[in-house]
Amino acid sequence: MLRKVLSGVVALTLVLGIVGMALAGEPGFITPPGSWDETYDVVVVGGGFAGLSAAYFAKKAGADAVLIEKMPFVGGNSIINGGVYASYTSKLKLAEKLGQPDSPEKHIEDTVVGGDFMGDPALIENLVYGSPIILDLLLDNGLQVRDMISRPGGHYGYRTHTTINQSGSDVVLTQKKMVEEAGVKVLLNTKMTYIYREKPMEGRVLGIRVETKEGERNILAKKGVILATGGFANNPDMVRVHVPWITDEVGCTNHPGATGEGLVMAKQIGANSLHECYIQLYPFADPNTGILDAAAVVPFNGPSFGIVYVDVQGKRYVDEGQRRDVCSMAALNSGGFPTFSIFSDEMVELFSTREDIEKYIKQDRCFKADSLEQLVKEINARTYKGQKVNMPADNLIATIKQHNGYIDQGADPDFGKKIDKGIAKKIVAGPYYAIPQWPSVHHTMGGVKITPRAEVEDLWGNVIPGFFAAGEVTGGVHGTNRLGSNAIPDCAVHGMIAGTMAATGKPPVLK
């Protein structure tokens, strides 16, 4: 019986592998070359949070490290990221200053629960305990964050830091500087097309084949290859293999390079993978484009401060403090398109800045009015993907009045939202603001299976020697659903572990 189950699992894996190989266009096993064009100790593939971190730590640990990036610049999804970073503490002590100190245990619990207990607790511990180590290191290297701390959906502690420009580019540019100062060689426009292993499904990972403008090159990695190629949210075929209901009509927040071939190449040489069917929609993207722009971060940072989400009828449809998957499904099932975040002037500086909100108004991504009636007129005056809405002003006024009462009571009988008394604000005076929002494909929680030491496992649970992975290309960290602001620490911490492991064979001490 067990044999039948196992052969079924292997057959399914092979079928998915073949589908994946077809997507990557690189079927079969390729014998390693007799001689190599370039040699390094550690070869890091992918220049996002994970790869930049891996390359930096490998180099700092004494290895000759190279970073390979297929695009003309480093950054991947990381550089277009919203700049929100979850860390239970930091040298800035922002949560402590708000009178809301957090703890690693609470961060771990929220992450485990937020992923429906499917995340690997050991990987979650890495993320949580490593998070302040990386944040403090980035701050020491010039990263600036805003003097605010938020509690977005699924988090029940104030731990989400926002970078000064509310952009992942603040982190990437700091990491890039660190990598350059450390002396890591960076090869741009260099695409990995194959991972060499000694034998089919057996032996050590030796190096990679890359495609460059000058042709193909084979690169030997004496100590290890680190896969940090990111997720596959921008590969519609791969997304649909795992989640067929996500059609082309659903937008995507990702950069064009998030196409997942790194994951397919890893599977091609026997790496195990998990959780590819867990694909997250970001609930607050621009309804017209599907893009997660800066305005789309406001609804994310706002819930604990009193922001209200309403449907086209002007009625609440969800607990605003809920996880992204819950908010997305509630929006899709709200009976109309799109939904809106409503807030008032008093709240602006709690989760954004006046300059930013004015910018979004100029871009027509945020609407402003002196009364709620006028705000509804602004909402109804626009089209969303060519469609009009007809929100009744009376409904919005009644919804806001009722929600104000819930804030006074400290309880939300409709959706059970946790209300932090003294922090959540009522919407009582103008100007009032609305931001339209709609779910868009965002994060792939699945990927290659790694150990807590960032070693890639094979289909039989053995470590593949010389092969490490970090970041969105891995699976099993977040479970069914990633909590917002947990990806930066996941990527950077596991990058640190992978880089240190590849260079020294030992993981860094996190606690």
Ligand X SMILES: Cc1cc2nc3c(=O)[nH]c(=O)nc-3n(C[C@H](O)[C@H](O)[C@H](O)COP(=O)(O)OP(=O)(O)OC[C@H]3O[C@@H](n4cnc5c(N)ncnc54)[C@H](O)[C@@H]3O)c2cc1C
The footprint of ligand X (CB under 6 A) covers 45-51, 68-71, 75-78, 80-84, 168, 191-192, 228-230, 253-254, 257-258, 261-262, 292, 443, 471-473, 485-488, 491
What residue type is 365 in one-letter code?
Answer: R
Compute the least distance from the CB of residue 465 to ligand X, in Å: 22
Strands 447-449 vs 474-475: parallel, antiparallel or unpaired:
parallel
Strands 38-45 vs 215-227: parallel, antiparallel or unpaired:
parallel
Strands 84-86 vs 160-163: parallel, antiparallel or unpaired:
antiparallel
What residue type is 331 in one-letter code?
Answer: A
Compute the least distance from the CB of residue 153 to ligand X, in Å: 13
Strands 273-274 vs 447-449: parallel, antiparallel or unpaired:
antiparallel
Of residues 237, 198, 235, 206, the one with CA closest to residue 223:
206
Burial (CB < 10 A; 0-12, 13-18, 19+), residue 105, is exposed
Q: Which position among 324, 354, 365, 453 bears the catalytic label?
A: 324
Measured CA distances, 6 to 12, 229, 449, 462 (Å): 10, 29, 18, 16
Of residues 279, 220, 292, 297, the one with CA closest to residue 472:
279
Compute the least distance from the CB of residue 285 to ligand X, in Å: 8
| Rounded CA separation 457/357 (Å) | 46
Helix boundaries (H) for 227-341: 236-242, 261-268, 298-301, 324-332
86 or 459, CB closer to ligand X?
86
Asked if residue 474 lies in contact with residue 455, where contact means CB atoms within 8 angstroms, the answer is: no
Compute the least distance from the CB of residue 47 to ligand X, in Å: 5
Compute the least distance from the CB of residue 69 to ligand X, in Å: 5
What residue type is 135 in one-letter code?
Answer: L
Asked if residue 310 lies in contact with residue 342, where contact means CB atoms within 8 angstroms, the answer is: yes
Whether 240 is catalytic is no
Sign of CA dihedral 230, 231, 234, 235: positive
148 or 487, CB closer to ligand X?
487
What residue type is 431 in one-letter code?
Answer: P
192 or 372, CB closer to ligand X?
192
Compute the least distance from the CB of residue 233 to ligand X, in Å: 7
Hey, how many other C-beta atoms are within 10 angstroms of the C-beta on 363?
A: 12
**Angle at Cα 19 formed by Cα 15 and Cα 25, nearest 5°?**
135
Asked if residue 126 lies in contact with residue 500, where contact means CB atoms within 8 angstroms, the answer is: no
Enumerate the active-site residues. Answer: 324
